[in-house]
A and B are shown apart, each in its own frame.
Chain A
Amino acid sequence: KQEVTQIPAALSVPEGENLVLNCSFTDSAIYNLQWFRQDPGKGLTSLLLIQSSQREQTSGRLNASLDKSSGRSTLYIAASQPGDSATYLCAVYVSGTYKYIFGTGTRLKVLA
């Protein structure tokens, strides 16, 4: 059964630091992986979608990579800002099941 893990569960960094968030999945049979941010009490905002055939996607200060064979994805945030403070979630679309599995998230705090 597919399991998705995000470590660490929480992270505090000073403003301006480059940082990496991790997402691991146990079964490499996925259609795609999507990164989201969630602000407290709010819905999920899509950040980046990586199809299984792709290695990385970039949007502004964000870069997401995917290594299916090792079951890992990373979200790189460059020059972090206090406005980046949120919970970051990854989700995989599992091949053959039509289901999505989410990680439990990394709560990021960027200190001014």
Chain B
Amino acid sequence: EAQVTQNPRYLITVTGKKLTVTCSQNMNHEYMSWYRQDPGLGLRQIYYSMNVEVTDKGDVPEGYKVSRKEKRNFPLILESPSPNQTSLYFCASTSMAGVMWGEQFFGPGTRLTVL
């Protein structure tokens, strides 16, 4: 089954404790993204990656890091989480080939609470 997986699904942590949210896709897609979703603000793109070792900032990159060492994986790293990073996070994978070029597929989400 074609899918995007994220782990963990729920995470409660404390300010300053480094964490990583993993994202993996099995569709051989080149493009992957991270979003955060906040009430009233909608989904905002944090970082995206056009391919292995190619990453760039989205609209809200401050406080986050990413890496893309393998095509299927795109982890999101919070080096020193703060309460304003409490949010619902989504990973997405995007086809860059064929007639459905640019169609995004989303993971189930990770609900992060930073105390």
Contacts and interface: CB of A to CB of B under 8 A. Distances in A.
Are A and B associated in one complex? yes
Helix, strand, loop or mixed for chain B's interface?
strand
Interface residues of B, number: 27
A45 B4 CA distance: 12
A102 B33 contact: no
Interface string B96-115: 00011111111111000000
B45 A104 contact: no
A43 B106 contact: yes
Interface in B73-115: 90, 92, 99-109
A49 interface: yes
Contacts of B45: 99-101
Nearest to A100: B45
B104 A34 contact: yes
Interface string A76-106: 0000000000000101010000111111110
Nearest to B99: A51
B33 A100 contact: yes
In this complex, the member of B42, B48, B100 whose beta carbon has the largest number of chain A beta carbons within 10 angstroms is: B42
Interface of A: 31-32, 34, 36, 41-46, 49, 51, 89, 91, 93, 98-105
